[in-house]
Amino acid sequence: MRLVLVGPPGAGKGTQAKFLAYHFKIPHISTGDIFRANVAVKSSLGVKAKNFMDAGDLVPDAVTIAMVRDRLAHHNAKRGYLLDGFPRTVPQAEALTNTVTDLGTQLDAVLELRLDDEEVVRRLSGRRTCHGCGRVWHTELDKPEVEGICDACGGELFQRDDDEPETVRRRLEVYREQTAPLVDYYADAHLLRTIDAYGSVDSVTARGIDALEQAAAT
Ligand code: ADP
Ligand code: AMP
C-alpha cells in the first residue's frame, strides 16, 4: 500500500501513522520527523529547515521535495509506505504524483483526518514526544504510566518547540492556506477517504483501517 495522511497539525497523524504502518506492514515516513532529526544533529538540511519550523512556516518546496524523492527511492519503500506530513502544498502533491509515476507505481489512497481547531489546540498544548522511539503522548488525553517517560521504550519525553500557542496559530493558518487545497486535489483524483478524528486513539485507528481497506478493495 502507498498511502498519504493529511489533516491539520494535531489531528493525530503521527499517532495514527504508527498503528496504520504496523497494520499494513509498511514504513512510516514523516517529513516532520526527518526534519527534526536533521535539526538535532545540525546537518545542512537541518540548518536550512530550522528557522521555518520555529516560525511555524513550511520548509521550501524544493528542499522538501528533494528529500522525499530520495527517501522514496530507498529500498525499504519499494513495497509501500505511509507518508505523514507530506505533501503539504499543491506543488508537493504534483511532485509526488510525478515521483510515484517515475517509479512505476501509484498511490492507493489519501486518508484525511478531520478535527476542528479547538480540539487541535487542546491536543497540541499537551503533546509530548519520546526522544527514543518517537511515540507521541499527551499530558491528559493519552498519558504514559510514569510522567515524562515513554511506556513503549523507556525514553524521555519532550515538548516540541513549535507547540507553543503563537506558533500553533501560525501552523493552523498555514494549513488552511497551503495544505487544505490538497483535499480537493485528491478528491478529484478519486483517492481521498475522510474520517472523523474524534474519539479514542483506538477508535480512530479502527476507522482508518476500515477506510483504507475499502479503498484498497476498489
Ligand atoms: P499530528 O501528527 O497530526 O500533528 P499527533 O499524532 O502528534 O498529531 O497528535 C497530537 C496530540 O494529540 C498528541 O499529544 C497525541 O497524543 C494526541 N492525540 C492523538 N490522537 C488522539 C485521540 N484520538 N484522542 C486524544 N488525543 C489524541
Ligand atoms: P510535523 O511534524 O508534520 O508537524 O512538521 C513540523 C514542521 O516541519 C512543519 O511545521 C514544517 O515547518 C516542517 N515540515 C514538515 N513536513 C513538511 C512539508 N511537507 N513541507 C514543508 N515543511 C514541512
Is residue 138 domain-resident? Answer: no
123 lines ligand 2 (CB under 6 A): no
The half-sphere exposure of 156 on its side-chain side, counting CA atoms within 13 A, is 3
Is residue 75 domain-resident? Answer: yes
Centre of ligand 2 from the C-alpha of residue 48, in Å: 13
Which residue among 31, 82, 123, 128 is best mutated to probe the pocket of ligand 1, counting the most ligand atoms within 8 A of its Cβ? Answer: 123
pLDDT digits (tens, 9 = 90+) for 136-145: 999 999 999 9
pTM across the whole model: 0.96
35 lines ligand 2 (CB under 6 A): yes
Q: What's the sign of the alpha-carbon dihedral 175, 17, 128, 125?
A: positive
Looking up residue 110, the CATH number of its domain turns out to be 3.40.50.300
pLDDT digits (tens, 9 = 90+) for 31-63: 999 999 999 999 999 999 999 999 999 999 999
Distance from C-alpha of 68 to C-alpha of 147, rounded to nearest angstrom? 35
pLDDT digits (tens, 9 = 90+) for 116-129: 999 999 999 999 99
Q: How far is CA 12 from CA 17, 38, 66, 106, 218, in A?
A: 8, 23, 26, 25, 26
Is residue 68 domain-resident? Answer: yes
Before 181, cis peptide (omega within 30)?
no
- Of 111, 113, 132, 133, residue with least CA distance to 123: 113
Is residue 186 domain-resident? Answer: yes
Residue 30 pairs in a beta bridge with 84
Tell me the mean pLDDT in the region 89-107. 96
Residue 111 structural domain: 2-115+180-217
Q: Is the pLDDT of residue 216 over 90?
A: no
Is residue 169 domain-resident? Answer: no
- Of 84, 75, 62, 66, residue with least CA distance to 17: 84
175 lines ligand 2 (CB under 6 A): no
The dihedrals phi and psi of 92, each to the nearest 5 degrees, come to -65, -40
User: Average per-residue pLDDT in the chain?
Assistant: 95
Is residue 13 domain-resident? Answer: yes
What pLDDT score does 121 carry? 93
- Of 29, 19, 21, residue with least CA distance to 203: 19
Distance from C-alpha of 105 to C-alpha of 211, rounded to nearest angstrom? 21
Structural domain count of the chain: 1
Is residue 46 domain-resident? Answer: yes
Distance from C-alpha of 93 to C-alpha of 86, rounded to nearest angstrom? 8
52 lines ligand 2 (CB under 6 A): yes
Name every protein residue with a CB atom under 6 angstroms from any ligand 1 atom. Answer: 7, 9-15, 123-124, 126-127, 136-138, 141-142, 199-201, 204
**61 contacts 89 by C-beta, under 8 angstroms:** yes
pLDDT digits (tens, 9 = 90+) for 172-208: 999 999 999 999 999 999 999 999 999 999 999 999 9
Q: Counting beta carbons within 10 angstroms of the beta carbon of residue 165, is it exposed (0 to 12), middle (13 to 18) or buried (19 or more)?
A: exposed
Nearest CA to ligand 1 atom 22: 201
Three cell numbers written together for 37: 532529526
Is residue 208 domain-resident? Answer: yes
